[in-house]
Amino acid sequence: MDRTLAADLARLPELLEATRRAAAVALETLDARPVVVPAAAAAPHDPEPLPEHGTGAAAALAAFRHRWEPRLSASAGPRYLGFVTGGATPAALAGDWLTAAHDQNSNSALDGAGQDLERETVGWLRELFHLGPEHAGTFVSGATMSNTTGLAIAREWLGERLGVSPSEDGAAALGPVRVLSGAPHSSIAKALSVLGLGRNSLVPVPTLPGREAVDPAALDRALADTPGPAVVVANAGTVNTVDFDDLRAVAALKERHDFWLHTDAAFGAFAALSPDHAPLTAGLDASDSLCVDLHKWLNVPYDSAVQFTRRQDLQARVFQNSAAYLGPLGDHPDLVHLTPENSHRLRALAAWFTLRAYGRQGHREIVERDIACARALGAELSGDPAFRLLAPVRLNVVCFTLAEDPTAARLAALREAAAAEVFVTPTVLAGTPALRAAFSNWRTTQADVRRAAEALRMAAREIA
């Protein structure tokens, strides 16, 4: 064994302890550090050459803390409101550490209970989102992968309807495909590109006036205009205004039209945890496939999401990985036959830990507190003449802009001026440049809302 490596092995408990201390410091200082480091500090450094001889884990830890850690964002913290970003609950973090420590490849039943742990966790998630046993679930690395997997199953379903097999003969066997959606997330187009259906297969369907929710009557007409079976992507929680398609109305169209219903509920599904907001997700269980992100509002570390489907048989047809040394498909296919990847970390463990630790009520409290924080920031900004809300706060996102001269450049200056205290991300809503503040971190409190509002106000004055 290499001498440095052998020395690290000899003092492994000490190294883990030093790493634990570094992690604790990083978390203890989350509140005091800038949310996003000033642009100058984030400028690219010259890369260091590959070390010929290493100096061991302690030296690597010191180098990381010196060179890289100061330039990372405080995205695990309470005022990082960009994109839709979750933190990591204490239990989720513990689960993630142990995932790495055990370093399981939980893709087959040949060597341990990793898959069973994943199935137990999927069962808990199903209950959380009010889904029934007809929805099988699989862990993937994020909502983009979940959407891609769901749409791959949709592709195979189209083949079943048309009497061809895209997984055997290629997507071209389907001929032209139409994927209808109101306000789909950008990852849907990416998935269609990956799947050989093409971004141009996406047919935009009009949304309701002033909304991002699909107009069910327009969807009805678009389906009537589609020759043959189609795919509908319903959206349960759009990123700009957290609008929800009327999932029951969309599903009811199946009485008249032949389509696969995929629902992107990446973070919107968590509305099901709050009794006051659960009606937004009514009809979620009618989906043939659906996407839920876990590294957002479940607050587990990256990378984690789940893909649910009613047709695991079609999923296995797409993703089966037949080899002499792997198990047969059977009724409960090994995970190696269900997702784009083969080897697969014990990704479910962080979700298992946080659900085991805090339960449905603990996670309900996180969701409801984040919604209350979004409402409070919405109220602060709508009461300030410098700002204008572009949509009501339906759930956990505040979509707002400057009341005067809301150009992309001015909004960028505003974001930059506030970035040490609060991080928000840019968007464009119906042609108007805007900003989004998304609440999905378990640490965020009303005190953070006041600090964020104050920072935005001061930044607006600064750039005036």
Ligand X SMILES: *Cc1c(COP(=O)(O)O)cnc(C)c1O
What's the min distance (Å) between Cβ of 59 and ligand X?
34
**Which residues lie across from 235 on neighbouring strands?**
264
- Structure tokens of 333? 């296919």
What's the min distance (Å) between Cβ of 425 and ligand X?
12
Task: Find the angle CA(143)-CA(212)-CA(176) to the nearest 5 degrees.
Answer: 65
Judged by beta carbon, residue 415 or residue 436, the one nearer ligand X is 436
**Residues that bind ligand X in the complex, under the rule CB under 6 A:** 84, 142-144, 185, 187, 237, 239, 264, 266-267, 293, 305
What's the min distance (Å) between Cβ of 185 and ligand X?
3
Q: What's the half-sphere exposure (Cβ side, CA atoms, 13 Å) at 223?
A: 26
What's the min distance (Å) between Cβ of 51 and ligand X?
33
Judged by beta carbon, residue 108 or residue 149, the one nearer ligand X is 149
Whole-angstrom Cα distance, residue 95 to residue 75?
19
Judged by beta carbon, residue 35 or residue 143, the one nearer ligand X is 143
What's the min distance (Å) between Cβ of 184 and ligand X?
8
Give yes or no for a contact between 452 and 459, defined as CB atoms under 8 angstroms apart. no
What's the min distance (Å) between Cβ of 212 and ligand X?
11
Other beta carbons within 10 angstroms of residue 63's beta carbon come to 14
Judged by beta carbon, residue 36 or residue 298, the one nearer ligand X is 298
Judged by beta carbon, residue 99 or residue 108, the one nearer ligand X is 99
Whole-angstrom Cα distance, residue 461 to residue 464?
5
Give yes or no for a contact between 386 and 418, defined as CB atoms under 8 angstroms apart. no
Give yes or no for a contact between 292 and 269, defined as CB atoms under 8 angstroms apart. yes
What's the min distance (Å) between Cβ of 266 and ligand X?
3
- Structure tokens of 438? 């998304």
β-strand 397-402 against 387-389: which pairing, if any? Answer: antiparallel
Whole-angstrom Cα distance, residue 61 to residue 18?
9
What's the min distance (Å) between Cβ of 462 and ligand X?
31
Whole-angstrom Cα distance, residue 294 to residue 302?
8
Judged by beta carbon, residue 79 or residue 185, the one nearer ligand X is 185
Judged by beta carbon, residue 104 or residue 241, the one nearer ligand X is 241
**Which residues lie across from 64 on neighbouring strands?**
none
For 262, the enclosing helix (H) or strand (E) is: strand 259-264
Give yes or no for a contact between 440 and 425, defined as CB atoms under 8 angstroms apart. no
Whole-angstrom Cα distance, residue 303 to residue 173?
33
**Which residues lie across from 369 on neighbouring strands?**
none
Judged by beta carbon, residue 277 or residue 317, the one nearer ligand X is 277
What's the min distance (Å) between Cβ of 177 and ligand X?
20
**Is the omega angle on the peptide bond into residue 303 within 30 degrees of 0, that is, cis?**
yes
Judged by beta carbon, residue 57 or residue 143, the one nearer ligand X is 143
What's the min distance (Å) between Cβ of 237 and ligand X?
6
Other beta carbons within 10 angstroms of residue 277's beta carbon come to 20
Which residues make Cβ contacts (< 8 Å) with residue 341, sequence separation at least 6?
Answer: 140, 141
* DSSP symbol at 214: B
Judged by beta carbon, residue 262 or residue 317, the one nearer ligand X is 262
